[in-house]
Amino acid sequence: MAEEHKHEESIMEKIAEKIHGHDNSSSSDSDDEKKASSIKTKIFRLFGREKPVHKVFGGGKPADIFLWRNKKVSGGVLGAATLSWILFELLQYNLLTLFGHVSILALAVLFLWSSATTFIHKTPPHIPEVHIPEEVVLQLASGLRIEINRGFTILRNIALGRDLKKFLMVVAGLWVLSKVGSSCNFLTLIYIATVLLFTVPVLYEKYEDKVDHFGEKAMKEIKKQYAVLDEKVLSKVMSKIPRGAFNKKKD
């Protein structure tokens, strides 16, 4: 009897240890989850970004090109944009003239080469078939459509007077754009935007944590200054606007 009693006590002790160990592990897991969630909530991302930079650009091949995943293609696109800017802006070359001359030269070389191979009994040059991938075009069009619709929504909310802060930011941005446009033409502006598109995102992705940390400090300072401006200037201006004028007319 004494041996059976001891055996039962040992079994009960093991069960109690397992239950206690499970509680500790579950509590430690919950603590880890709380810590992880608190860390996630503390992370600041520029412009409220929740997705990786690659996903922000729509993913796929366009994002790979902008973020230099394929360095040959990205370098080729940026080199072609630079060459086009040099030809059309610095050398003042006409687009139709350049297209015509390049096409004539390319077709003449290929025609003479293909004709010469029949006389010297060699294989003609291999000219690959060029097709624009449908997936790339659809991804670009979809991303562009989303951004344009988002811009229209923001402009509509600003026009309805719902967000004074965004109104001031858009006015400041348009003013800067007008100053930049007065100092350079449209082609140069497009080239500058292309260079920024191929440099800023990849640098931001590389130094993401540092930029976000600096952006968090800058946003806090901007909000602080905006609060001062709102208290001293904007609130007084808005208080002087007769909001009930239209309601009185209707009555």
Does the predicted model carry a pTM greater than 0.85?
no
Determine the average pLDDT of the residues in 180-189.
82
Closest listed residue to residue 135, CA positions, set 207, 204, 64: 64
Helix axes 186-206, 208-229, angle to 10 degrees: 110
pLDDT digits (tens, 9 = 90+) for 42-94: 566 766 667 778 887 777 788 888 889 889 999 999 999 999 899 888 888 88
Question: What is the four-CA torsion angle of 137, 138, 144, 150, rounded to 10 degrees?
Answer: 180
Q: How far apart are CA 161 and CA 139, in angstroms?
A: 34
Q: What whole-number distance in Å separates Cα of residue 205 and Cα of residue 192? A: 20
Check residues 127 and 12 and name the one with the higher pLDDT. 127
Question: What local confidence, expressed as pLDDT, does residue 243 receive?
Answer: 53
Give burial (CB, 10 Å; 0-12/13-18/19+) of 234: middle
Per-residue confidence (pLDDT) for residue 117, from 0 to 100: 84
Q: Tell me, what's the pLDDT at 4?
A: 47
Lowest mean pLDDT: which of 1-5, 135-139, 185-189? 1-5
Closest by CA to 150, choosing from 43, 44, 41, 48, is 48
Which letter does DSSP use for residue 231 in this model? I
